[in-house]
Amino acid sequence: MNINGQDIMIGLIAGAATALLCLGVATGSGLSILLYLLSAVPIMVAGLGWSLAASIIATFVATIAVFVIANEMTALFVVLTTALPAAACAYWMTLSRPAEEIGGPQGKLVWFPFADVLFRMCLMIGAAFIIIGIAINYGPELMKPVLDELVANLQINNPDFAFSPEARTQFDAAIVGMMPFMQPLMWTCVMIGNLYIAIKITATSGQLKRPSDDFPTAMRMPKPSLIPFGIAALLSLVGGAAGLGASAILGGLAAGFMLSGFALFHAYSRGRAWRPFGMFVLYFATVLTMLPPFLMFLIGLFSLARNMPISNPPHNNSNE
């Protein structure tokens, strides 16, 4: 891996941008939270448009900056959930090989399948939340103040509301068990959204080497993803630390299948007169209930695919 002055400059700028976007969330404003959700974009752009070296430098810069300005746990969270996945995702998206190596046309490049990028991102985000959970000693004791505050708010809004001891125990167990699943699921969706934005920015700048993937048709999970999904689903029923860890992997993978379902709806509705109304109903219902995401998950679960885009060789490319 060669590192030149441009890689260093891009890495420094991207890393500083990511750190600022992450640290700004401390203000608590709505805009700062939105910007935090976009914090992976600078590192992805550095990797997609310039080099792996630039994204690695950006990862180090962002992590060190957050560590110095905030604390070690915040830095750990940023590097595991944002910086490293962003750099890895950009690296996978720039992998290519001669098409003739896999029986394709000569003089062309075949690019790493987007389905495999999605699959790896799901696993990486799930694993990141497992490590964070271990670092903070996640469990009922850690969540007790949060659960007490949640119950207190419920009682303020409804004074007649009260838990029996048995119901409170079940409620606490449900929330503690749900969080390791929901966090990777939601953050995987955020990271794929970041990737979409980063690709658009890089393509607009003329730096994108990979042919732009059509997300509605390319966003599918590969068949091998069913194996860890099934294993994680079974282990999540065990309970304890193993069950919580399996739930994190399950959440990340569930996000991949769910996103595949939404992408399939986007592809199917193209050119149809009812598309705007259908999109409105789908996403409005998604905000109100969990039924549409669950249906999209089921659709994605049974719509597995693995397409590899082909293009002419660019001037500079990474080889798988």
Write the DSSP string, 205-254: TT---SPPP-HHHH----GGGHHHHHHHHHHTTT-HHHHHHHHHHHHHHH
Q: Is residue 169 part of a domain?
A: no
Confirm whether 155 is domain-assigned. Answer: no
Residues 56, 108, single domain; the answer is no
- Predicted TM-score (pTM) of the model is 0.88
Q: Are residues 117 and 89 in the same domain?
A: no
Residues in the chain: 320
pLDDT of the residue at 318: 42
Q: Which residues contact 7 (CB under 8 A, 6 or more apart)?
A: 50, 51, 53, 54, 57
Domain count, the chain: 2
- Residue 148 is assigned to a structural domain of this protein: no
Longest dimension (CA), the chain: 73
Q: Are residues 65 and 111 located together in one domain of the fold?
A: no
Q: Please give the Cα distance from 249 to 245 (Å, whole number).
A: 7
Question: What pLDDT does 314 receive?
Answer: 60
What tokens appear for 225 in the block?
């993803």
Domain assignment present for 99? no
The per-residue pLDDT for 1 is 63
Residues 62 and 121 in one domain: no
Query: Both 31 and 110 in a single domain?
Result: no
Q: Domain check: are 121 and 36 in the same one? A: no
Domain boundary among 36, 62, 93: 93
76-115 burial by CB neighbour count: b if 16+ within 10 A, else e? bbbbbbbbbbbbbbbbbbbbbbbbeeeeeeeeebbbbbbb
Each residue's pLDDT expressed in tens, for the chain with a length of 320 residues = 677 788 899 999 999 999 999 998 877 778 888 999 999 999 999 999 999 999 999 999 999 999 999 889 999 999 999 999 999 999 999 998 887 877 777 778 888 999 999 999 999 999 999 999 999 888 777 777 888 788 777 777 777 777 777 877 887 788 888 889 999 999 999 999 999 999 999 999 989 888 888 899 999 999 999 999 999 999 998 878 899 999 999 999 999 999 999 999 999 999 999 999 999 999 999 989 889 999 999 999 998 887 767 766 765 444 44
Residue 166 lies in a domain: no
Residue 188 burial by CB count (10 A; 0-12/13-18/19+): exposed, middle or buried? buried
Under a CB-based contact definition with an 8 Å cutoff, are residues 52 and 2 in contact?
A: no
In terms of residue numbers, what domain contains 80?
Answer: 1-93
**DSSP result, 96-150:** EEEGGGGT--TT-EEEPPHHHHHHHHHHHHHHHHHHHHHHTT-SHHHHHHHHHHH
In a domain? residue 147: no
Structure tokens at 141: 């004791």
Give yes or no for a contact between 133 and 248, defined as CB atoms under 8 angstroms apart.
Answer: yes
Distance between CA 54 and CA 9 in Å, rounded? 8
Residues 313 and 220 reside in one and the same domain: yes
Are 243 and 126 found together in one domain?
Answer: yes
Domain end, chosen from 41, 59, 93, is at: 93
Q: Which residues pair with 109 in a beta bridge?
A: 98, 311
- Residue 175, in any domain of the structure: no
Can you tell me the distance from the alpha carbon of 96 to that of 91, in angstroms, rounded to the nearest whole number? 10
Q: Are residues 62 and 201 in the same domain?
A: no
60, 93, 126: which is the final residue of a domain? Answer: 93
Same domain, 80 and 214: no
Asked, for residue 172, whether it belongs to a domain, the answer is no
Together in a domain, 14 and 37: yes
Assess whether 253 and 119 both reside in one domain.
yes
* pLDDT score at 193: 95
